[in-house]
Structure 1
Amino acid sequence: MCPGEAVTVPVDDVLPEQSASQISSNTPFALYEKNIFSPPTSRLSSSPKRSSSPTRETPIILRSAWPPVIVESLNGLKDAPPTHVERLGDRLVEGVDFGFIPKGLEQVIKADLNVGYQTIKPADFDAGDRRSANELTALWETVRDIFLNARDCKDGNRDENAWCDDVVQPLLRLAMHLYGNTRWWLQSVQSQSISPAYLSAIPASTPNDATRHKLIDRKTDYVLSYSPCDPTILALYKRLVAANRGEISHTLDTFTKRTALFSGFEVKPAYGVHTEAELQMSIWIAASLRKKQQLAHAAEVLFEPAAMAEPAFTVVGHEHYVYYAYPQDDLVAGRSGVHVLGPDSDRFEKLGTDSIRGIFRLVRLYGNLLKYGIDGVEEGYWGGFLGLVLEKLAS
């Protein structure tokens, strides 16, 4: 089978309107489902047995699935991360640790009683920032509101929807306003299903069907898409449709599957489980990369798998975590799959919305993400990979 080609395996019927939380014998395996994949003899044992936690079981299942997905820490890897991953991390961290707050806001922050005392280092301020007074006022009001909303979400023990709507979404939209111009569209994909062709599967044979497989499926919260509001992107989408190549993403949604997607964000409340967020994010980004491999194969564009490295993020309450995902040949016992490395806690120390400086750091991080994703030069994601593939398909 050619590299990057979508794989078809016998799976249960999965309808676009089905949620992974709707569990039945005919729905995909979900992270919250407490399935135990132990040998039949152990299940027949009469001795009492502790049920397996889904957050402990699923990483093993993902590793043994076809295609496999491995999520592991950067530290302790047998082999050093690919050069492309290292370069990507260095690019995302630029300016995240110094010069990320306009100098003109120094006294404003100190004088605002609503946010209280804030620990900010002298090196955090950018004396070269030349924004007008009106621009600084608008920026400060947005950052202050994000901080106050995040504090209320934490103190009020608010749910995932509150964190999404009142904290994460305004934060990403601020980064888009400052760094993304009209090139980006932030999409909520909480209700959208991944196409079964790009999901991992595990054997689930029955007495009547020895070849039956079951999908490992879970949704995520947000994704960045290359915006059809941008004239250049819109023209590309129209040419792709004319070339009968309109379906370019891994989702089943009528709109989203016709837009190019980048990265992904899984959000949990402060009381949420980070491992669950990590697993949902890894399932999403792995499916996205498989679709892009398929597109590259169809376009007859050859790439080293690591050159497709893509950032992805988890958010649990205040804390934000950075991951890098890329296809890898011979990932598990000769099987190719997707390798997810992270979180990158050394390069990005304590990213969070529990402080004003933390929010400004995140704005810079996500600004770097946006600039990388749309960069048309060879070192950028658009110019070095995705844009080349889509232009070839459109021609």
Structure 2
Amino acid sequence: MDTERAELQHWVRISDWVIANASYQHDDLDLCQHQDASQLHLFPTPPASSYVMQRDSSPSKKRKTTAPGTKDGDVFMSPVRQGPGLAEDHDRTPTSHASFNLSTLNYQLPPHPAVSRSTSSRQSQSSASSGRRSTSPAKRTQNLRYLEKPVLYMALEDDANQQLPMDVTSLYDRIYDITVDHYCFLPHQVRSQLNSLTGRKLRDTWFTNDSSQDASPDQTELDALREIERDARECMRRGSCEGAWNVDVHAPLLKLAMAPYTEIRREVVTSARIASPFLPQTDVGVDVESKMIDFALILESLTDSVRAAVSSQPKDRQFINQTPYVSIQHSPIAVSIETKTAGTAEEGRVQLGVWTAAWNKRIRALLQQQADPIVSLPLVLVVEHEWKLFFACDRGDRLEIIGDMSIGDTKSIIGLYTILAVLRELADWIRATFEPWFRQTLASVTRTE
């Protein structure tokens, strides 16, 4: 009996120590920077036993689910995990994998300290207290349905052509041909090399019908893709951070894909913050915390028309996108791309949702009283090797983000060619659909001013 009691005391002390350090943030350690070990904020040593366990003399009360320091009913705060069967809370404090649950023991533990928010949330609170509007952090895609213009993530239906707007149905069909039917996406000039690399005799229908006799461009492209494949495998092996994947894998692949398109550029937008007028708001008028993404495919052929359209706008709105970031001030964003490492796909979907809602709000402000739907936008979410495609569709009173489609991977040469082919289909769509829509929109804005 004494042994059992001693073991319980031991687990309670550990539980108390974990709870007391619940505010520890793994993202406080930038794994991409070399730091002296003395500068790292590590867990303190577990404290010695200082609490005396007491048996309850009355039935336990249901614990309040709102974390201290948060507002009751705030849909943009993470729900507290209360038991099996509920959605996983990725921000909760890790729990012991012991064979029994401490919460089932009939003992009183010390009160839980308030769990601190992330660094960005603390900064938002500080800004609000100094006169800025308060912001609310969106942590899950379900939270986005509570925006003033709701953002809803929807699964792609079997008959996607009935679900998607007309401006992206042909794009969807071609991407389906590439990713599902593997039709006509590999260069014919390097067929023998690909058969050798994969150890297979690849099907005729996988290859293009290019009759060119010059194989050098295709060979150069194959060499570049093989280097990206090696770098991607090395990033995975090393457990590299998001920044390393972006530099070594994603940026080179995007640049290679856009090489044939002089009017479309891959832009790094990791520093492009959403402008205050275009921050999405909740349905009770609170600004959502700003989210940034990693890359964008931007259109550069409309610079003069864009400059003319935004020149008469207020000073804080003289840019075409939802961000004043100078590099893309007069270049419309056509495709938004967010990259993540393992286990953070949900965060990436939230970032894309907030970012796209802000873009939609900016374009709607530009259109003023015009009620026509805004052009659909392709969105790409990358998690390590895997690339996924979504379609952001304006339904007037809401935004639907429909997907996802798997569009290749960076762990195989065939997967890389699949991504390359899909990215070039996106570029063709920018030329054929996005640019004409934007040109017409700019003309209508100029006429009404």
1:291-330 deviation per Cα after TM superposition (whole angstroms, max 9, x unaligned): 22222337x5x52x2x62111110001111110112223x
| 2:415 corresponds to which of 352, 358, 363 | 358
Counterpart in the other structure of 1:62 = 144
| 1:233 corresponds to which of 302, 312, 323 | 302
Contact 2:266 2:296 survives alignment (8 Å): yes
Cα RMSD (Å): 3.5
1:238-262 deviation per Cα after TM superposition (whole angstroms, max 9, x unaligned): 5446666852111032342332111
| 1:101 corresponds to which of 186, 191, 209 | 186
| 1:340 corresponds to which of 380, 401, 406 | 401
Larger deviation: 351-360 or 95-104?
Answer: 95-104
Q: Quick check: 1:201 aligned with 2:285? A: no
TM alignment of 1:241-260, pairs within 5 A: 246-260=318-332
Q: Greater Rg, structure 1 or structure 2?
A: 2
In the alignment, the residues of structure 1 paired with residue 210 and residue 158 of structure 2 have an alpha-carbon distance, to the nearest angstrom, of: 40
Amino acid at match of 1:249: N
Contact 1:313 1:320 survives alignment (8 Å): yes
Contact 1:146 1:171 survives alignment (8 Å): yes
Displacement, 1:191? 1.4
Using a 3 Å threshold, how does the CA distance of structure 1 residues 292 and 48 change in structure 2: closer, same or farther? closer
> Counterpart of 1:263 in 2: which secondary structure?
strand
Counterpart in the other structure of 1:386 = 438
Contact 2:157 2:163 survives alignment (8 Å): no
TM alignment of 1:307-326, pairs within 5 A: 308-326=375-393
Contact 2:229 2:410 survives alignment (8 Å): yes
Displacement, 1:213? 2.3
Q: Quick check: 1:73 aligned with 2:146? A: no
Counterpart in the other structure of 1:261 = 333
Q: Quick check: 1:137 aligned with 2:219? A: yes
Displacement, 1:88? 3.8
What's the % identity of the aligned pairs?
20
Displacement, 1:99? 1.8
1:72-93 deviation per Cα after TM superposition (whole angstroms, max 9, x unaligned): 212499x952442544422444
Contact 1:69 1:338 survives alignment (8 Å): yes
What is the TM-score with the length of structure 1 in the denominator? 0.71
Amino acid at match of 1:215: V
Contact 1:68 1:200 survives alignment (8 Å): no
Counterpart in the other structure of 1:276 = 347
In the alignment, the residues of structure 1 paired with residue 195 and residue 354 of structure 2 have an alpha-carbon distance, to the nearest angstrom, of: 43
Contact 2:152 2:401 survives alignment (8 Å): yes
Instruction: Kindly indicate whether structure 1 or structure 2 has the higher relative contact order, using CA contacts under 8 Å at least 6 residues apart.
Output: 1
Contact 1:70 1:339 survives alignment (8 Å): yes
In the alignment, the residues of structure 2 paired with residue 319 and residue 35 of structure 1 have an alpha-carbon distance, to the nearest angstrom, of: 38
Using a 3 Å threshold, how does the CA distance of structure 1 residues 34 and 393 change in structure 2: closer, same or farther? farther
TM alignment of 1:211-226, pairs within 5 A: 213-226=286-299
Contact 2:139 2:350 survives alignment (8 Å): no
Using a 3 Å threshold, how does the CA distance of structure 1 residues 119 and 143 change in structure 2: closer, same or farther? farther
Contact 1:118 1:355 survives alignment (8 Å): no
Displacement, 1:235? 3.4
Using a 3 Å threshold, how does the CA distance of structure 1 residues 243 and 325 change in structure 2: closer, same or farther? same
In the alignment, the residues of structure 1 paired with residue 245 and residue 441 of structure 2 have an alpha-carbon distance, to the nearest angstrom, of: 35
Displacement, 1:70? 1.2
Counterpart in the other structure of 1:207 = none
How many pairs are equivalent? 323
Contact 2:171 2:425 survives alignment (8 Å): no
Using a 3 Å threshold, how does the CA distance of structure 1 residues 292 and 242 change in structure 2: closer, same or farther? closer
1:66-114 deviation per Cα after TM superposition (whole angstroms, max 9, x unaligned): 222111212499x9524425444224445452221112212223556xx
Q: Which runs of 5+ in 2 are unaligned?
A: 1-26, 29-66, 93-137
What is the TM-score with the length of structure 2 in the denominator? 0.63
> Counterpart of 1:201 in 2: which secondary structure?
coil
Using a 3 Å threshold, how does the CA distance of structure 1 residues 255 and 173 change in structure 2: closer, same or farther? closer
Q: Which runs of 5+ in 1 are unaligned?
A: 1-20, 23-32, 204-210, 330-335
Counterpart in the other structure of 2:360 = 289
In the alignment, the residues of structure 1 paired with residue 442 and residue 376 of structure 2 have an alpha-carbon distance, to the nearest angstrom, of: 17
Using a 3 Å threshold, how does the CA distance of structure 1 residues 190 and 102 change in structure 2: closer, same or farther? same
In the alignment, the residues of structure 1 paired with residue 307 and residue 290 of structure 2 have an alpha-carbon distance, to the nearest angstrom, of: 31
Using a 3 Å threshold, how does the CA distance of structure 1 residues 278 and 52 change in structure 2: closer, same or farther? same
In the alignment, the residues of structure 2 paired with residue 142 and residue 243 of structure 1 have an alpha-carbon distance, to the nearest angstrom, of: 45
Using a 3 Å threshold, how does the CA distance of structure 1 residues 357 and 152 change in structure 2: closer, same or farther? same
Using a 3 Å threshold, how does the CA distance of structure 1 residues 212 and 95 change in structure 2: closer, same or farther? closer
Amino acid at match of 2:380: F
> Counterpart of 1:344 in 2: which secondary structure?
strand
In the alignment, the residues of structure 2 paired with residue 159 and residue 48 of structure 1 have an alpha-carbon distance, to the nearest angstrom, of: 28
Contact 1:196 1:215 survives alignment (8 Å): no
